[in-house]
Structure 1
Amino acid sequence: MKIWMAPAGLHVEPAQVGDEKSLAALHAEGFFRGWTTADFQSYLRSAETPIYVACDAKRKIAGFSMLRIADDECELMTIVINKKFKGKRLSTALMQAMIEDLMMSPVTKMFLEVDEDNQPARKLYDRFGFAQIGERRGYYPRPDGKTATALVMKADLG
């Protein structure tokens, strides 16, 4: 099993079947429309949607990231960090683990969408060489009924 070091006494490893409830609960905390346990069951069984978890030695998940891979491209579908671990650089550790893992694959480009108002995420993506290539107005629904613009970003991995 692949394992990468992470801050706060945690490490990053591939998610496992059985993690779906924890992943769904954490995703629901971080997003207005969280994905269901059934969604994660499907994702965990697919080689095209690898999930990386930041967890402790007992596999208590503090955050995770998920990709969707298609040929030589991938999309960063989500990164979610438990509120208790925000600001501890877990997103950076997850990004490093994903990119290191992708370097051993045919993937050469990574895409993502990020809420234009999410400054911490935008700074993270800037550090990893992502550049804005477009935007999607009204992409993200908000609890107040309004919508937010998604910035479409791309990074070349190799």
Structure 2
Amino acid sequence: MTAAELAGIAARAYRHMTPWREADFAATLGHPTTVLSAGEGAFVLGRVVAGEAEILALATDPERQRQGAARAVLVAFEHAAMARGAEEIFLEVAAANTPARSFYEACGYARAGLRKAYYTCPDGSRDDALLMRKALPEN
């Protein structure tokens, strides 16, 4: 999936916050630590460094939501991260994004911290980020 395709999905999916731009995706894709798991209308973009994986972005096109697309790319990302030596995965999710928080909890992620006023919303307000963590099974 190209940076432009990722930006398009993110723009449609991230209605509650300012989405990444194509240039942001392009820059991230250029790093050797980057892991991209993409499927039909969904993706997970992250990185693996020193035994830890971090999910930077997960988005599902609204037309593909609630059809298993996000879970499929998340599981694929977890396997790719384990293959690169990750023992755990971290992510931040907007505190106000109840559907995303519920999704991650259903996938085995647990709250590990809070980052106050982390996200900028389209209206200029700020939202907290919940830091979530999942331990990966040993290979």
Shorter-chain TM band = 0.7 to 0.9
Which of 68, 87, 95 is the matching residue for 1:89?
68
Contact persistence 1:43–1:50 (CA under 8 A):
no
1:22 maps to 2:5 = yes
**Residues 36-80 of structure 1: CA deviation (Å, up to 9, x unaligned):** 22222222232211111112xxxxxx1111012211001111111
Structure 1: which 5+ runs fail to align? 1-14, 56-61
1:136 maps to 2:115 = yes
Alpha-carbon distance between aligned partners in 2 of 1:153 and 1:33, rounded to the nearest angstrom: 20
Percent identical residues: 28
SS at match of 2:57: strand
Alpha-carbon distance between aligned partners in 1 of 2:12 and 2:78, rounded to the nearest angstrom: 25
Structure 2: which 5+ runs fail to align? none
TM-score, length-normalised on structure 1? 0.78
**Residues 127-146 of structure 1: CA deviation (Å, up to 9, x unaligned):** 22211111111111112221
**Residues 102-148 of structure 1: CA deviation (Å, up to 9, x unaligned):** 23221101101111122221122112221111111111111222111
Alpha-carbon distance between aligned partners in 2 of 1:156 and 1:138, rounded to the nearest angstrom: 26
SS at match of 1:121: helix
Alpha-carbon distance between aligned partners in 2 of 1:131 and 1:151, rounded to the nearest angstrom: 10
RMSD: 1.5
2:98 corresponds in structure 1 to 119
Looking at CA atoms only, which structure, 1 or 2, has the larger radius of gyration? 1
Q: Report matched runs for 1:31-42 at 5 Å.
A: 31=14, 32-42=17-27
Which of 34, 46, 51 is the matching residue for 1:72?
51
1:45 maps to 2:30 = yes
TM-score, length-normalised on structure 2? 0.87
2:125 corresponds in structure 1 to 146
Alpha-carbon distance between aligned partners in 2 of 1:64 and 1:101, rounded to the nearest angstrom: 13
Contact persistence 2:37–2:74 (CA under 8 A):
no
The more displaced of 106-115 and 137-146 is 137-146
